[in-house]
């Protein structure tokens, strides 16, 4: 029986991963431990099943010429009704999903995209572009208010090819719907790689990364998708905008900068030229323990300002080492690494360790030596760095059953300059814990890892978890709404940004509106009005369309 027009392996509509994904015995035992620490008990609840969901009928008929691209199977519609945030997952466990798109549309090529937008404009249909659906801020939710005839989700999965490779300049022209592994497999045949690795790599796309300004797992330098983009191609309701392929240009404001971070509100990104790299063969890694978090942060700053540019430089506070499975909570851990396809890294690591020594960091010198043994060394895959990487990639899988048990587990990420970091770290953790405890009546676990480092500041990523008094998913979701709004306010009030790499979407609108100058928001709304005068493109994200005041939509709003 066909449940979906998707050609990809079946995804779980209620959470992360493929439909047949399971947890290992070890992961189940860690999950049990985590739940008991949060005072959440009981046998694991039954996972949501497709037959438990009833969707409203589709409100429009697809155009005859494009009907073969349109799907309204319950699985397709449910799969595209939400992203992968805590609230998305909780609403699925409650069997109360957000409104589903009337249709899911799978364009085969750019002309299909043009034709679909043309039809949507003529029929007042809202269009929600969809890459991998890994948004954690309501970016793909069909929350567009009552002003539209219908809403469709435009899934880019069939546009996943590498179209051209330029080995001289080391760049490739790639369709926007390529998932991380699809892109890597095609580039590997050319001996090249993008090397942009967000935690969601497996289930997110090049197009999604570009329009959300994603951050990869490298701590410094080549990690933001912004830096990999040479040029872009955007299909808007008013025509196609192609930018020029150049290594750099001083010709006025950069057009690509408007596409980066546009979150589907200006048009559909169909392809981009991206800068590539040769995969590294030389590596050096170290896992450094610090008893004093303040000293660890100072060491991080020294490293970030040294010009050494480590590829990995993640500082986990003591609580975060427990969450990440790399420590027992007794000290902070700095995961440090260098990579190169060109030269051994002994000198870089030696200088970095000298800095570490001067701030009182402790490390296993033999393990560091093993990591530098050359191309054959597996040290970066084992030891603390490997354990951290494995836990990092598996974490989303065991978040889902925690949500089903009525636990709240979520993250907020931000950025702040160095001179304000110490106070920021202290105050945000304390205020998050206080609001969680006030809202749920339960003790909160709040941890922090520094995901990205700059010479002038850091990107702290806070994880919080707690139970609820009655252990119900409904209570957890109600509490989460208050916590999320409070967290949005706290981050901006203390001088941070509402998001360092997760984007604005619908759930971060309240912080974005506080943070960004009203004049700039008006300019953005004008730009949107120019390319999308009927305001059909992803209404509700980033800014209100001119003439259609939507305000807050999605799980935190009313529209």
Contact residues for ligand FAD, defined by CB under 6 A: 16, 83-84, 128-136, 139-140, 156, 176, 198-200, 204-205, 207-209, 211-212, 214-215, 263-264, 268-269, 396, 501-503, 505, 538, 541
Which one, 172 or 284, has the nearer CB to ligand FAD? 172
Specify burial of residue 518 (Cβ count, 10 A radius: 0-12, 13-18, 19+).
Answer: exposed
Token pair 């709040």 is found at 446
Which one, 208 or 310, has the nearer CB to ligand FAD? 208
From the CB of 373, what's the least distance to ligand FAD, in Å?
A: 29
Which one, 378 or 530, has the nearer CB to ligand FAD? 530
From the CB of 161, what's the least distance to ligand FAD, in Å?
A: 14
- As a dihedral over the C-alpha atoms of residue 468, residue 470, residue 471, residue 477, rounded to 10 degrees, the angle is -60
From the CB of 322, what's the least distance to ligand FAD, in Å?
A: 19
DSSP state of 553: -
CA distances from 264 to 71, 212, 268, 528 (A): 21, 9, 6, 10
Which one, 165 or 214, has the nearer CB to ligand FAD? 214
The Cα 559–Cα 557 span in angstroms is 6
Which one, 83 or 327, has the nearer CB to ligand FAD? 83
DSSP H helices in 95-146: 110-122
Nearest to 442 by CA among 477, 416, 468: 468
Q: Which residues, including other chains, have CB under 8 Å from residue 190's CB and lie 6 or more apart? A: 165, 167, 172
396 contacts 85 by C-beta, under 8 angstroms: no
Question: At 295, which helix (H) or strand (E)?
Answer: helix 293-304
Specify burial of residue 30 (Cβ count, 10 A radius: 0-12, 13-18, 19+).
Answer: middle
Which one, 503 or 543, has the nearer CB to ligand FAD? 503
Which one, 211 or 345, has the nearer CB to ligand FAD? 211
Catalogue the E-assigned strands of 214-267: 229-236, 239-242
7 contacts 388 by C-beta, under 8 angstroms: no
From the CB of 213, what's the least distance to ligand FAD, in Å?
A: 7
CA distances from 57 to 68, 101, 139, 226, 261 (A): 19, 10, 23, 40, 33
From the CB of 301, what's the least distance to ligand FAD, in Å?
A: 22
* HSE-CB of 93 using CA atoms within 13 angstroms: 28
From the CB of 34, what's the least distance to ligand FAD, in Å?
A: 16
- If DSSP codes are grouped into helix, strand and coil, which group holds residue 552? coil
**DSSP calls for 159-208:** ---EEEEETTTTEEEEETT-BHHHHHHHHHTTT-B-----TTGGG-BHHH
Which one, 86 or 425, has the nearer CB to ligand FAD? 86
- If DSSP codes are grouped into helix, strand and coil, which group holds residue 315? strand
From the CB of 353, what's the least distance to ligand FAD, in Å?
A: 27
From the CB of 150, what's the least distance to ligand FAD, in Å?
A: 17
Q: Which residue is nearest to ligand FAD (CB)?
A: 208
Which one, 16 or 290, has the nearer CB to ligand FAD? 16
From the CB of 395, what's the least distance to ligand FAD, in Å?
A: 7
Which one, 384 or 411, has the nearer CB to ligand FAD? 411
From the CB of 269, what's the least distance to ligand FAD, in Å?
A: 4
């Amino acid at each position: 029986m066909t449940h979906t027009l998707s050609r990809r392996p079946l995804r779980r509509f209620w959470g992360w991963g493929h439909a047949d994904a399971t947890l290992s015995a070890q992961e189940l035992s860690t999950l049990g431990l985590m739940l008991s620490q949060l005072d959440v008990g009981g046998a694991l609840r039954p996972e949501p099943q497709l037959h438990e969901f009833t969707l409203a009928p589709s409100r429009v008929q697809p155009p005859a010429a494009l009907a073969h691209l349109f799907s309204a199977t319950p699985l397709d519609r449910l799969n595209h009704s939400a992203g992968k945030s805590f609230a998305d997952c909780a609403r699925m466990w409650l069997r109360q999903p957000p409104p589903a798109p009337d249709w899911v549309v799978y364009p085969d090529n750019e002309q299909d995209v043009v034709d679909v937008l043309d039809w949507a404009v003529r029929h007042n249909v809202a269009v929600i572009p969809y890459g991998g659906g890994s948004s954690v801020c309501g970016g793909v939710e069909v929350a567009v208010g009552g002003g539209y005839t219908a809403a469709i989700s435009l899934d880019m999965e069939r546009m996943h090819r590498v179209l051209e490779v330029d080995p001289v300049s080391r760049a490739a022209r790639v369709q926007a719907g390529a998932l991380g592994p699809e892109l890597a497999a095609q580039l590997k045949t050319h001996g090249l790689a993008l090397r942009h690795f967000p935690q969601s790599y497996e289930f997110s796309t090049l197009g999604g990364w570009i329009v959300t300004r994603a951050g990869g797992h490298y701590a410094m330098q080549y990690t933001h998708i912004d830096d990999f983009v040479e040029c872009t191609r955007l299909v808007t309701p008013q025509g196609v905008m192609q930018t020029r392929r150049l290594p750099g240009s001083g010709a006025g404001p950069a057009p690509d900068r408007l596409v980066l971070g546009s979150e589907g509100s200006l048009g559909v990104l169909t392809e981009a030229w991206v800068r590539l790299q040769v995969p590294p063969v030389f590596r050096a890694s170290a896992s450094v323990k610090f008893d004093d978090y303040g000293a660890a942060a100072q060491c991080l700053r020294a490293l970030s300002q040294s010009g050494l540019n480590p590829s990995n430089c993640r500082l986990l506070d003591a609580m975060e080492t427990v969450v990440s499975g790399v420590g027992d909570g007794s000290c902070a851990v700095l995961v440090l690494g260098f990579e190169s396809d060109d030269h051994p890294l002994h000198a870089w690591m030696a200088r970095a360790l000298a800095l570490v020594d001067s701030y009182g960091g402790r490390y296993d010198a033999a393990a560091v030596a093993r990591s530098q043994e050359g191309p054959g060394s597996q040290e970066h895959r084992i030891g603390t760095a490997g354990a951290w990487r494995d836990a990092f990639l598996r974490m989303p899988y065991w978040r889902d059953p925690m949500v089903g048990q009525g636990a709240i587990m979520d993250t907020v990420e931000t950025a702040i300059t160095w001179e304000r970091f110490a106070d920021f770290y202290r105050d945000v953790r304390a205020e998050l814990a206080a609001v969680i405890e006030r809202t749920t009546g339960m003790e909160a676990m709040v941890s922090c890892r520094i995901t990205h480092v700059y010479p002038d500041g850091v990107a702290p990523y806070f994880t919080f978890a707690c139970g609820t008094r009655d252990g119900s998913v409904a209570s957890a979701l109600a509490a989460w709404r208050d916590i999320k709004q409070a967290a949005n306010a706290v981050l901006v009030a203390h001088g941070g940004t509402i998001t360092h790499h997760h984007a604005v979407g619908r759930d971060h609108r309240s912080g974005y509106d506080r943070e960004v100058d009203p004049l700039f928001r008006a300019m953005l709304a004008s730009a949107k009005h120019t390319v999308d005068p009927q305001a059909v493109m992803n209404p509700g994200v980033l800014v209100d369309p001119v003439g259609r005041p939507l305000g807050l939509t999605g799980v935190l709003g009313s529209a």
